[in-house]
Amino acid sequence: MPTESAETAERIRELLDRNLQEVFGEGDDDRRRVAIDALWAEDGVLYVPSGPVVGRAGINRVAGVLRSTHPSFVYTPNGSPQVVHNAGRLAWNSGPSGGAVAYTGWDVIIVKDRKIAALYVFLDETSEEFRRTSGQI
């Protein structure tokens, strides 16, 4: 008999959408930190090409560095989030507001107690962004 996940599909979709916009798309440090506190577990782990980052302060630092290197870039979902049990994924595009897409990626989250416990960020490996961030953030 299948068991039902404690994490709702609606909450997982909300976490994916809000994290994309309010954490990685947010240029204001204070607003980003409030969003991280609301969306992320205290010991959440962010897996990026350069390696894992543990905890809210580290996640805030990485998101801040990303915003400072691309202050005019926006993140746009590419399709709808998909959910399976306590995990979800969302494809996205990034580039200057109103401009061409500069790079693409996928966010895959694991949710525990209604917060992001882990986020795996997959960047298009042919992009300059992948080459720039591998080993550097």
Chain mean position to CA 60: 11
What pTM was computed for the model?
0.88
- Please answer whether residues 59 and 137 qualify as being in contact, where contact means their C-beta atoms are separated by less than 8 angstroms: no
Other beta carbons within 10 angstroms of residue 103's beta carbon come to 19
Using one digit for the tens of pLDDT, what is the confidence trace for 104-114? 999 999 999 99
Confidence of residue 1 (pLDDT cuts 50, 70, 90): very low
pLDDT value at 129 more than 80: no
Would you give the DSSP letter of residue 116?
Answer: E
Catalogue all structural domains in the chain, each as residue range(s) with its CATH number.
9-126 (3.10.450.50)
Using one digit for the tens of pLDDT, what is the confidence trace for 44-96? 999 998 899 999 999 999 999 999 999 999 999 999 999 999 999 999 999 99
Q: How far apart are CA 116 and CA 43, in angstroms?
A: 9
pLDDT value at 6 more than 70: no
